[in-house]
Structure 1
Amino acid sequence: MKFVVENISKSSGRLGHLVQAETGKRFRTPLLVQTTKAGSIPYLSREVFDYITKETPALQFSLSTINHMTESLKLFNGTIGAYVGYPECLSLLLVRDTCTTTPSGHNDKDIMPLFTRRGKEMLTATSYMDAVEVLKPDIYQGLCDADTNLDSSKKRITKSVDRTAQFMDLCYERHQNSTVLNNSGLFVPIVGGYSTFARSDSIKHAKAKGESITSGYIFEGFHNNGLSATEVDVEQLLKVMTHSLNELNVEKPKMMPGAYTPPAMLELISLGVDIFDTSYAYCAATNFKALTFNFDLTKTESGNCSPFLDITTDSLKEDFTPLLADCDCLTCKKHTRAYLYHLYNTKEMAGPILIMIHNLHHMMKFFNTICNCIADDKLPDLVKLVNYQGHDAALDYSIKLNTKAISRNDQGKSFTVAKDDQ
């Protein structure tokens, strides 16, 4: 895997390409990778996803949702992308599921907890690298202790950095000695919570031990995944990221996994972050929210004050307009708000499918616009539009759990489990 920087905007942001080692396919950055669960894009089959885009996708797999596939993949003797029906995709392997909140605690000296559908499993650096060699992703992250957030203590942050360094020592060794991973890129984790001092320590270890074999960097430990990523303190986040990016190799790609809000993504792209995932679109869909924020610089007039539409709102039951005017996704072309409200009320599985189609389409068009704005040196204008949507005050893009429709115990399990059914 290679990364090529093609253009750096005068104002902010940069354009580049990730180049797949074996095929030479190019994936434009800033890149939005498709989050998967158990190897599939949530709610969508391959055929349905083809209605959204015909472009070759970049897929993000999490070991916590596919670890049960490793035995079958040993017999398959192919890549994880080919195994799940996307042989041409760019595959990225993470440890944790960015769509679901990761429980805190359960950490030990030489192991880290892996929370799977079968329960908690203990992962060592050796067993992790064994799994990576079976899955054969184009890019994979190094094993790390990312159990930190804004409220983490200094002791917890220090342990996070120390344990990550210990894990990565073995990962570096295995990566260098592995013939299977010759074409796989290693993204080194940078941890340390919201402490600039701890982040610097993590970066120092990454430079000292893995500078020559590192393909990129992945920033972990700002949140506990799931909805918590939509509520991060952006001001504190940008302070830490500005400090960290100044200490890293500019030419290597940087990734920020998690459901960061669109305004947060734009600010991070302005700093030089290159890769994000679609977990924000998923978190919105599972909480019955269709994305409606405006990112068209030719339409800056004031509109609705909300960046998304709550499908469970009773006022929609006789609203026969599409989710978003002028949207050309399959959902908006074929169906109305009233129909989606009906699907929610009747607990039909077509509901999450149609909302996910719209949300992914919306996010993908958003990232196309980002790339065009960087090329035209208009990213600051886009940042202002997305943040304010033509109003005086910045909008709140965080996603709250929709307890009217889904209980806390069932979050992430099923789109259609209603609270009154418990």
Structure 2
Amino acid sequence: MKFVIEKISKSSGRLGYLVQTETEKRFRTPLLVQTTKGGSIPYLSREVFDYVTEEVPALQFTLSTIDHMVESLKLFNGTFGAYVGYPECLSLLIIRDSCELIPSGHNDKDIIPLFTRRGKEHITVKRYMDTVETLKPDIYQGLCDADTNLESSKKRIIKCVDRTAQFMDACYERHQNSKVLKKCALFAPIVGGYSTHARCESIKHAKAKGEKLANGYIFEGFHNYGLSACQVDSEQLIKVMTHCLNELSDDKPKMMPGAYTPPVMLELISLGVDIFDTSYAYCAASNFKALTFNFNLKTVENATSQPFLEISNESLKEDFTPLIRDCSCLTCRKHTRAYLNHLYKTKELLGPILLMIHNLHHMMHFFSTICKCIADDNLPDLIKLIKFQRGSLAVDYSIKPNTKIISKNDQDKNYTILNDDQK
């Protein structure tokens, strides 16, 4: 995998592309990779995903959701992308499922916990690198301890940096000596919570041991994934990331997995982060929220938008308009808000499918607009639009869990809200 930079702007981030080694296919950065569960894009088959986009996707595979497939893959003569029906994709392997909240704790000296469909597993460096050799992804992250957040103690942060350095020493050695991994790109993890000193120590180790082996960097340990990524302290996050990115060279891509909100993504892109995933779109769809935020700089000045539409709202039951009037996705062309509200009431699986189609389409067009704004050097204008949506107050993009329940007797009434003791 090669990384090529086309343009760098002090105020608008940078444009570039990742190039697959064998196929020479290019993937534009800032890049939005499709997060997967069990090797599949959540709610969508390959055939349905083709309705979302005709472009070759970049897929983010998660070890915690595909660990049970490793044994069968040893008998498969090909890449994991081909195994799950996406032979032409750019494959990226990370350890933790960015869509789900991951429990803290369960850490030990020589292992990290992996929460899979079979329960908690213990992952050693040897087992992890054996798995990487079996999967043969285009890009994979190094093993790390990322169990930190804003509330982590100083002792926990120090331990995560030390253990990650220990893991990465073994990963670098295995990567260098492996014939299979010569075609795979290694992303070195940068950890350390919200401590700039700890992050710098992690960067120093990555530079000292992996300067020639690491093809990029992945930043973890700011949250516990799932909806917690929507609620990060953006000021603290940007402060730490600004310091970290100043310590790293510009010639390697940087990735931040997790369901970061669009305003936070834009701020990070302006600093030089290149790769994000679609877990925000998934978290919205799984909580019955349709993304509706406006990213069109040419809209009327007094037009205002909300970040998402609550499909569970009773007011939508007779609203026969699309989710967004000018949206060209399959959901908006064929279905209405009232129909999606009906699907929610009847608990039909088609509801999350249609929402996922729309949310992915919306996020992908959002990233296309980001690339255009960087090319035109007006990303600050887009940041302002996303943050305020033509209003005077900053808009809240954080996703709250959907706690509404519906029984058969309630389908023609207002929904019942869970009490605290029912949650």
TM range (shorter): over 0.9
Q: How many residues align?
A: 411
Does the CA-based 8 Å contact 1:300-1:385 persist in structure 2?
A: no
Does the CA-based 8 Å contact 1:35-1:61 persist in structure 2?
A: yes
Name 2:284's counterpart in structure 1. Answer: 284
| Cα distance in 2, alignment partners of residues 260 and 320 from structure 1 | 31
Matched, 1:384 2:358: no
Matched, 1:244 2:240: no
What does 1:191-270 correspond to in 2, within 5 Å? 191-270=191-270
Name 1:172's counterpart in structure 2. Answer: 172
Give the secondary-structure state (helix, strand or coil) at the position aligned to 1:265.
helix
Give the secondary-structure state (helix, strand or coil) at the position aligned to 2:183.
coil
Give the secondary-structure state (helix, strand or coil) at the position aligned to 1:182.
helix
Name 1:134's counterpart in structure 2. Answer: 134
Name 1:23's counterpart in structure 2. Answer: 23
Residue-by-residue CA offset, 1:268-291 (whole Å, 9 max, x unaligned): 000000000000000000110000
Query: How far off is 1:305 after superposition?
Result: 5.2
Structure 2 unpaired stretches of 5+: 407-416
Amino acid at match of 2:6: E
What does 1:175-186 correspond to in 2, within 5 Å? 175-186=175-186
Query: How far off is 1:325 after superposition?
Result: 1.3
Q: Mean Cα displacement is larger for which, 12-21 or 293-302? A: 293-302
| Cα distance in 2, alignment partners of residues 52 and 405 from structure 1 | 30
| Cα distance in 2, alignment partners of residues 214 and 252 from structure 1 | 9
Does the CA-based 8 Å contact 1:300-1:390 persist in structure 2?
A: no
Give the secondary-structure state (helix, strand or coil) at the position aligned to 2:284.
helix
Name 1:158's counterpart in structure 2. Answer: 158
What does 1:33-48 correspond to in 2, within 5 Å? 33-48=33-48
Cα-Cα RMSD: 1.4
Name 1:143's counterpart in structure 2. Answer: 143
| Cα distance in 2, alignment partners of residues 286 and 299 from structure 1 | 29
| Cα distance in 1, alignment partners of residues 306 and 381 from structure 2 | 19
Query: How far off is 1:404 after superposition?
Result: 1.1
Name 2:14's counterpart in structure 1. Answer: 14
Query: How far off is 1:159 after superposition?
Result: 0.3
| Cα distance in 2, alignment partners of residues 305 and 394 from structure 1 | 12
Query: How far off is 1:167 after superposition?
Result: 0.4
| Cα distance in 2, alignment partners of residues 56 and 257 from structure 1 | 20
Amino acid at match of 2:320: F
| Cα distance in 2, alignment partners of residues 259 and 394 from structure 1 | 19
Amino acid at match of 1:255: M
Assess, with a 3 A threshold, how the Cα gap between structure 1 residues 300 and 172 changes in structure 2: closer, same or farther.
farther
Query: How far off is 1:197 after superposition?
Result: 0.1
| Cα distance in 1, alignment partners of residues 7 and 198 from structure 2 | 31
- Detail structure 1 runs of 4+ shifted over 6 Å in the superposition: 418-422
Assess, with a 3 A threshold, how the Cα gap between structure 1 residues 304 and 12 changes in structure 2: closer, same or farther.
closer
Query: How far off is 1:309 after superposition?
Result: 0.1
Query: How far off is 1:10 after superposition?
Result: 4.7
Does the CA-based 8 Å contact 2:34-2:41 persist in structure 1?
A: yes
Query: How far off is 1:338 after superposition?
Result: 0.1
Name 2:102's counterpart in structure 1. Answer: 102
Identity, % of aligned pairs? 76
Query: How far off is 1:303 after superposition?
Result: 4.1
Name 2:331's counterpart in structure 1. Answer: 331
Amino acid at match of 1:147: D
Query: How far off is 1:419 after superposition?
Result: 6.5
| Cα distance in 1, alignment partners of residues 251 and 260 from structure 2 | 23
Give the secondary-structure state (helix, strand or coil) at the position aligned to 1:223.
coil
| Cα distance in 2, alignment partners of residues 183 and 405 from structure 1 | 49
Give the secondary-structure state (helix, strand or coil) at the position aligned to 1:169.
helix
Name 1:411's counterpart in structure 2. Answer: none
